Amino acid sequence: MTTLDHPLVVDYLRRLHEETARLRVHEARELEAQIREHLTEALGGDPTEVEVREVLDRLGEPAAVVDEAGGAAAPGTGAAQAQRSDAWREAGALVLLVGSALLFWLWPVAVPMWIAGMVLLVVARRWSVGEKVWGGIVLGATWLLPVLAGLMAFAVDVQSCVTDAAGNQTCEGGGGEGLSTLNVVAIGVLVVWLAVYVWTVVHLARSARRTAAG
């Protein structure tokens, strides 16, 4: 059994994880990593129960450790309840950003949805900075890409005809069968973008749920 597997240490780390819900995701992860490293160094390889209790007592209660790290729980609520109350930010961001992309053709509705979704993405607490930046790029900044790619993919090569003085008609362009190179490239871009878009939505949803569940 390793140091971190000791029942008292496991219980302490569990309570610490619950309390870190009051911190931003990256701050919570850093704090938990620091505490784990400290316990490993302080307790050595085979600590007695007395030694474990002494080290944990010196660390202080998990709530106090998080308070010192800058955590601020909502008045009258526990850490777990405060964490659950924040779920609407992540859920709202995903719903609004995906909805604005689906309703791109309805600008009076899509634009306000997009703005609100970007705001919720920024203030969300369960995602790291990197996840927010990536989500902003894929779900926010590129929501017009499928429209542009779709227009390119299904563009028609227009045929232009000219009639000379002798009545002979010469036509250029159009009349081709199958997909042009531009069509193929555009369809490829659209497929790749859709795959990245879906992966991003799933990843952010799982990340928020994983952070909440611990």
Owning domain of residue 204: 87-152+176-213
Asked if 29 and 113 sit in the same domain, the reply is: no
Confidence of residue 74 (pLDDT cuts 50, 70, 90): very low
Are the C-beta atoms of residues 53 and 32 closer than 8 Å to each other?
A: no
| pLDDT given for residue 76 in this prediction | 44
Residues contacting residue 40 through CB under 8 Å, at least 6 positions apart: 3, 4
| pLDDT given for residue 79 in this prediction | 46
| pLDDT given for residue 123 in this prediction | 86
Domain closes at, from 85, 110, 136 = 85
Cβ neighbours, 10 Å, residue 172: 10
| pLDDT given for residue 185 in this prediction | 75
Cα dihedral angle (30, 132, 91, 144), rounded to 10 degrees? -170
Domain closes at, from 85, 112, 142 = 85
| pLDDT given for residue 143 in this prediction | 62
| Average pLDDT of the chain, as a whole number | 78
Residue 166, in any domain of the structure: no
Residue pLDDT, tens place only, 152-180: 655 544 455 677 777 776 665 555 555 56
Asked if 77 and 129 sit in the same domain, the reply is: no
Distance between alpha carbon 18 and the CA centroid of its chain, in Å?
Answer: 21
Confidence of residue 149 (pLDDT cuts 50, 70, 90): low
Domain count, the chain: 2
Taking residues 38-67, what's their average pLDDT?
86
Residue 39, in any domain of the structure: yes
Taking residues 79-100, what's their average pLDDT?
73
Asked if 91 and 136 sit in the same domain, the reply is: yes
Asked if 113 and 146 sit in the same domain, the reply is: yes
Global confidence as pTM:
0.50
Domain closes at, from 85, 112, 137 = 85
Of 154, 149, 160, 131, nearest in space to 188 by CA: 149
Are the C-beta atoms of residues 174 and 159 closer than 8 Å to each other?
A: yes
Confidence of residue 199 (pLDDT cuts 50, 70, 90): very high
Asked if 109 and 209 sit in the same domain, the reply is: yes
